[in-house]
Amino acid sequence: MCEPKGMTRLPRTALLLLLPLMFFGGCGSKAGGSDADKAARIAEMYADYSKKFPQVEGISAEELRGLEPDRKVALVDVRTPEEQAVSMIPGAITQQEFDAHRANYADSLVVTYCTIGARSGEYAAKLREEGLEVRNLEGSILAWTHAGGELKGPDGPTRKVHVYDKRWNLAADGYDAVW
C-alpha cells in the first residue's frame, strides 16, 4: 500500500487501542453528553443502586417539587460536609442535624438524598425500619438539577454541585460540577 509522503502507518495494535478512545473518549465532550443522555444515565444508575434497598419508596425530583406547600417535609442531605459545603437543596438539613433533633420531625415525610441516591437509600432503609415515613430522592441532587431545582451554597444561590469525579459529571447543563 502506498503511503502519502511524510505519513507513517500506525501498527494494527495501536489502531485497536485507539479506536475505543475515539468512539468513547468523546474528544473532550462532557462526561454525560446531552442533558437527555445524562438524565438517562442517572436513572439507570439509580435503578441499579435501588436494588440494594427495595423496601424504600422513591420520590422523583418533580414529585418533591410538587408537594403541597403545607406538607411537612424533612429534606435530609446525607452527603459529607465537603460535598454539602459546595451546595445543598434549599431547606435541607444534614443527617447529623436530623439525627440530633429527630423528635422535631416525627410527623414529617422524611426525604433523603445524596449525589445519586445510593447512600441516601441505605439511610432511608434504616429510617424505614425505625418506623419513619421516608422516601429516597430518585437520582438525588443530580436529578434535582435536571428538574430545574435550585441549589444554595455558603454565599447564597449557586449553580455548583459536588460530584465524585468527571465520570459523575451528570448535572444538567447550566450547573457546574465540582470534585
Q: Find the length of the chain.
A: 179
**Which grid cell sits at 35?**
442533558
C-alpha cell of residue 7: 505519513
Catalytic residues: 114
Within 13 Å and on the Cβ side, how many CA atoms surround 29?
15
